[in-house]
Structure 1
């Protein structure tokens, strides 16, 4: 039987889930929003709305379905934004692209052919595209180690040492190290804003074919392939039976509602889904959904204070924030590379996808991720036909 009050074990699990999910990747979210042309206020609003959207989605979906449905912002998606050129329309164009990606996710849940098409993209190519997106970001910590060694090296070493004990605390520990460094280097600067809580900022979206194809479609593809579909698979691996279409449409709807406030994409989680779904969450599988619910509650609390987090981060050297983002993504990139190169017959197509995506080229207004996936897809089809 389920209960109306969450067991204490699920409360503590939810807190850990939220700490890992939020503090392991918020620097990447800020980098992605900044790359899209967001102002400081818009970036704070985007971080706030992203955290609250995924928190509310996790609470509602988990309570409704009585399943441990952990929801996240799309870390691969914001990494894609961080290496993409801003739309000519500015941040309003990015908002339009976010809405397009959310609408495609809703459609993928409601219209099975689109869902099957998204699922039909070879895993090797999707992971190669993700690895290509992540490569430039993962190089930043080591560039920073040369340019600002007294700031970057303590963060890198903290991340590495903490990871030897527990990989889940490695990035949060690096965030703490970075916060100490920022505080020590701030001098007389005021690190915290006068108001710790601020209202979200509405940005009127601007739609264009270039931003929809160049940003919206890749954001949809990378989020579906690396977050939504694996998120369902993780829950099934622990014996739960979610209905994918409903969940895809739900997180897509949450993305559309939060996009005008700056949130890039809301999606199903994979890593934190495993934390909520396993026996450490609760011995009774019927009670594990409470971990996802409580994780959502804590996400919302973190989101409320996003303006303070963003203000503090604004005082950091950009390379220091890049170092945080880079170390947070190294593990993701390692997994992506492994998956991309796992099938020998598809490696040529995967490598081509990876290097074109990593090149950062823009042709006809379309970014490198689009061209990488297109070129890799052609090679994949030709190679399989020849065989």
Structure 2
């Protein structure tokens, strides 16, 4: 069977104040064209359809139209929720998705059978797919308890919970003559981040070993890390990466979707098909004289200026480079004040440091300081 694997669309993403709505339309139109040309039996979108848990009407329209267009190619379509998505809101769309022939799984619900999707290709190949949406640490224990874990098991780490959940969901992978597939939105130890992921959900507390995947899985389609890459694992495991660079930290990534060919007795073969519809992101640095020679009219630019800070410098740069979305002084031009900052923080309480941070950000919103005090007192008293 043939699979088109994509993930991390992040529709609705705003880059340094610049709306990327038209870019997303072009990128997803190209993904659909690839599906028409490749004629996959199954399309997997491994999470983060949206960039925010509260997508705009325009973003919702782009995603639902893309999913519908992929389904019209004749492929089965499965999409799961990622850490940027609102899982409950995606689940609320399931009546529409079911009517459109799209398998949408926003969150882990009480019924494990709901996360096991089965099908058969036109050639008669049977397949089954475990579709595991993103699980936060807070809900991992709760989800694990749904599968009758002991109290001791429920006190283990996030990685342990994910491993047990996957083992439970993949129990039927022992069925003979069936292609076993798994899709999830998570971080694997040793994998390389793309540069624009949400840091809080990629740090070690959220990483799991690749050994959580059963050896008899024919292909694991991952989402969450934005760089396409193969992962060393007991079975073929891959991140498809994002089909467009989400932020300037990803400007060196090669955006693509993965085309996978796999059979019951045939190892998964993967090839990446590049996506070229998005505007390129580029970082340039130099003096004003050097920047005047830059010729990148078709790219969004991050500009690191090698000049002393002064009033009007940003405007001068943007006059030279109208497509500069971010302009700042090159860090190499700034003095190292690490020791000075550490001295300023020494001996000060968390409340004082947080207050200084709010003052530096001109944050005068009512209740923020009081909320911090309440949370700090709660944490301090529970040590």
The verdict on a shared fold, with TM-score over 0.5 as the criterion, is: no
TM interval, short-chain normalised: under 0.3
TM-score, structure 2 as length reference: 0.24
Return the structure number with greater strand share: 2
TM-score, structure 1 as length reference: 0.24
